[in-house]
Amino acid sequence: MSDCIFCKIINKEIPATIIYEDDRFVAFKDINPIDKVHFLIIPKMHEENLLTAKNDLATREMFGEMLMLAPKLAKKEGLEGFRTMINSGVKGGQEVFHIHFHVYGGSDHLRKI
């Protein structure tokens, strides 16, 4: 998608503080962090959100791999515990319509949900 900001980060058209990249995913620091450590994990394949994602084996595997990447990167970033968040759709608070997992933590004052 030519106007997707995350696709532009993947294609190195705009800068980001990338903390991880492989052939399927990119992780980078959030530009508006909500905690001491806050990064995003995105697939290189453009998928809008959980509401519109295909329910096929490849997509389910992609989401599983993204989720399992979170603890690896959280530890690398110095977190002993963390939260994940996925916003889906406008009414779910999604601002960039390319699926992404927020991973954040580091504060001792997190409110329990």
* Domains of the chain, CATH where assigned: 5-105 (3.30.428.10)
- Mean pLDDT of the 59-68 span: 95
Query: What pLDDT, on a 0 to 100 scale, did the predictor assign at position 2?
Result: 72
Average pLDDT of the residues of the chain: 94
Give the global pTM.
0.92
107 band by pLDDT with thresholds 50, 70 and 90: confident
Which comes out higher in pLDDT, residue 2 or 101? 101
Which residue in 38, 100, 102, 109 is the catalytic one?
A: 100
Residue 52 pLDDT exceeds 60? yes
Helix, strand, coil distribution of the chain in percent, nearest 5: 25, 20, 55
Q: Indicate if 38 belongs to the active site.
A: no
- CB atoms near residue 14 (< 10 Å): 11
